[in-house]
Structure 1
Amino acid sequence: MGRVMRWGILGAAKIARTALVPAIQTARGARLVALATRDVDKAAPFVALEPGLRVHRAYEDLLADPEVDAVYIPLPNDLHVAWTLRAMAAGKHVLCEKPIALQAGQIDALIAARDASGLLCAEAFMVCHHPQWRRVRALLAEGAIGPLRHVEGAFTYDNPDIGNIRNHSRHGGGGLRDVGVYPCVTTRFATGAEPLRLRADVQDENGVD
């Protein structure tokens, strides 16, 4: 058996527990070994899924853990860049939730850090790896469904909780930053094209779009 990639998770987010933990447990050559969370109660469901899981009380402690090779970051959007950079500085490969950054200049900094470190740094966008979207991209490229005239995409869900971080601009929340990235990335990936013009109509509520 080849080398096993040992994973740690920064933060006890629901997406980590419901999506990433099962994925790691299913994948060959991967093992979940550590979790960092300031709330011990939130660690319990993870330990139930992965008995023997090491629980760190600080994110820094997980990054210093020599038995962690790669880190998954499902923190609030505004924390992605800082902790991705810190993880790479600690010698860890990184899989960061979308959006990995909120500004173009931050992407440049992440690319520079990745290239300098020789580590893998990836954004957790399943669209780019899902067989159905790879097939759509191939069909469009082949012209199998005729010339592309128009693409319309939407990603919506109901979140009336004004206390939720996804409804606060300072945390990178809002329709465009938090979920609007899905139709944007999917369209670009499927068509292989970049937009020529951009237009936005914004409804501002609670300080976010």
Structure 2
Amino acid sequence: MSHPVRWGILGAAKIVEAEMGPAMLRSRRNTVRAVASRRLPAAEKLAADLDAPAAYDSYDRLLADPEVDAVYVATPNALHADWAVAALDAGKHVLCEKPMAMSADEVRRMNAAAQRNGRVLMEAFMWRFHPRVERVLDLLAAGAVGDVRLVRSTYTFDLAAAGDVRSGSVDDDLRLNADLGGGVVSDLGAYCVSGLRTYAGGRPVSVHSWKHSAPGRAVETTASGQIAFDNGVTGQFFAALDVPGGGLVEILGTRGRIRMTNAFRIRAAQAPFDIERQHADGSWTTESTPFHDQYEAEIDHFAAVVRDGIPPRITPQDALANALTLDAVRRSWTEGEVTVCER
């Protein structure tokens, strides 16, 4: 086995503390070299928790560290593009938290930087690395539900009831900060669109979407919409930051349907992770899959892309396609039904 990928982490975000950092500690193919934060005490604490030898008070200092092979960009959404490009230009591979950026133009700029520097750039959609996803795609390819006609994707979360904001006030949460790229579409909606695109198996051609902002909020807290795909599949999504529930995906075909709860972010306590399937005669069967750490699988896959040269599961083209669709979702709020740009 090749030597581990040495990571530098940009941002002491909660996802690093709770999910990605511990996954890097568990992985034999990855190790944390450095953490950077605008607040040095935060970087030092997280570095200590992750057994990282270096903590920096600026992102530039981390990018200058010759011992860092790859960078995990966990900054606020609005900063993803600039810091991913800076990392790529510094010769680092990049795993960038979703959404890859705030627009397709920014994703194009990031992809161009990866190409000119010969480095790997991948969007961090950890849900794509659970074996249940590949099992469902295999079932669809085998015609288990006939021809797919409709895919529904729902992801909701009651931010105010979660109690996971460090300051204790939901008003301080980055997901509600317009200047930093907040809003439900960048957060949960990005998963919904990625899910629709993955299971529909076609290219989005048009979108009609609606949004709602809770009183006093500068960003959209609810978004819904319908996406038409070039293969005749219809996609429907609903995402909200003030509704409990979690992730749900339903796939309806001419000979049955598939239903999955906990469709995106999973925890061990939620196991088993079922694939509920309705057959043409109306009967239901359930196929269960065990817990699988999506974050560890994601970074192990990234290490294999970097060290072994395997193709990335989430390609630059896929990240661009998701960004183009999210752009169309946002344009639709003022323009009605809109066409999704092809590239």
User: How would you bin the TM-score normalised by the shorter chain?
Assistant: over 0.9
Moved more, 91-100 or 147-156: 147-156
Distance 1:120 1:31 in 2: 17
Distance 2:48 2:112 in 1: 38
Q: Deviations over 1:11-69 (max 9, x none)?
A: 11110122112221222222111101122332354244333531111110000001111
After superposition, the CA RMSD in angstroms is 1.6
**Which residue in the other structure is 1:116 paired with?**
116
Distance 1:2 1:123 in 2: 23
Asked whether the 8 Å contact 1:36–1:62 carries over to 2, the reply is: yes
Gaps of 5+ in 2: 161-169, 221-343
Q: Deviations over 1:159-207 (max 9, x none)?
A: 2423322112222111112210111101211222222331112113322
State whether structure 2 residue 176 is matched by structure 1 residue 167: yes
Count of residue pairs brought into register by the alignment? 209
Q: What are the residue-to-residue correspondences of 1:112-191 with 2, within 5 Å?
A: 112-160=112-160, 161-191=170-200
Spell out structure 1 runs of 4+ moving beyond 4 A: none
Asked whether the 8 Å contact 1:11–1:36 carries over to 2, the reply is: yes
Give the direction of change, closer, same or farther, for the CA distance of 1:38–1:207 in structure 2 (3 Å limit).
Answer: closer
**Which residue in the other structure is 1:94 paired with?**
94
Distance 2:78 2:191 in 1: 18
Which structure has the highest helix share of the two? 1
Q: Which amino acid aligns with 2:140?
A: L
Distance 1:131 1:64 in 2: 37
TM-score by length of 1: 0.92
Of all paired residues, the percent bearing the same amino acid is 39
Q: Which amino acid aligns with 1:189?
A: T
Which structure has the highest strand share of the two? 2
Q: Which amino acid aligns with 1:207?
A: A
Give the direction of change, closer, same or farther, for the CA distance of 1:52–1:164 in structure 2 (3 Å limit).
Answer: closer
Report the secondary structure of 1:21's partner residue. helix
Q: What are the residue-to-residue correspondences of 1:35-74 with 2, within 5 Å?
A: 35-51=35-51, 53-74=53-74
Report the secondary structure of 1:199's partner residue. strand
Q: Which amino acid aligns with 1:20?
A: M
Asked whether the 8 Å contact 1:127–1:186 carries over to 2, the reply is: no
Moved more, 173-182 or 83-92: 173-182
The Cα of 1:128 is off from its aligned counterpart by 2.6
Give the direction of change, closer, same or farther, for the CA distance of 1:196–1:77 in structure 2 (3 Å limit).
Answer: same
The Cα of 1:104 is off from its aligned counterpart by 1.1
Which structure has more relative contact order (CA 8 Å, sep 6+)? It is 2
Distance 1:191 1:134 in 2: 14
Q: Deviations over 1:91-127 (max 9, x none)?
A: 1100010001111111111111111110001110013
Moved more, 171-180 or 196-205: 196-205
Q: Which amino acid aligns with 1:71?
A: V
Moved more, 61-70 or 101-110: 101-110
Asked whether the 8 Å contact 1:10–1:72 carries over to 2, the reply is: yes
Distance 1:87 1:26 in 2: 25
Asked whether the 8 Å contact 1:71–1:87 carries over to 2, the reply is: yes
Q: Which amino acid aligns with 1:101?
A: A
**Which residue in the other structure is 2:213 paired with?**
204
The Cα of 1:83 is off from its aligned counterpart by 0.2
Give the direction of change, closer, same or farther, for the CA distance of 1:44–1:56 in structure 2 (3 Å limit).
Answer: closer
Asked whether the 8 Å contact 1:9–1:36 carries over to 2, the reply is: yes
Q: Which amino acid aligns with 1:14?
A: K
Asked whether the 8 Å contact 1:71–1:95 carries over to 2, the reply is: yes
Give the direction of change, closer, same or farther, for the CA distance of 1:81–1:34 in structure 2 (3 Å limit).
Answer: same
State whether structure 2 residue 27 is matched by structure 1 residue 27: yes
Flag the structure with larger Rg: 2
TM-score by length of 2: 0.58
Distance 1:47 1:105 in 2: 33
Report the secondary structure of 1:200's partner residue. strand
The Cα of 1:87 is off from its aligned counterpart by 0.3
**Which residue in the other structure is 1:15 paired with?**
15
Q: Which amino acid aligns with 1:165?
A: L
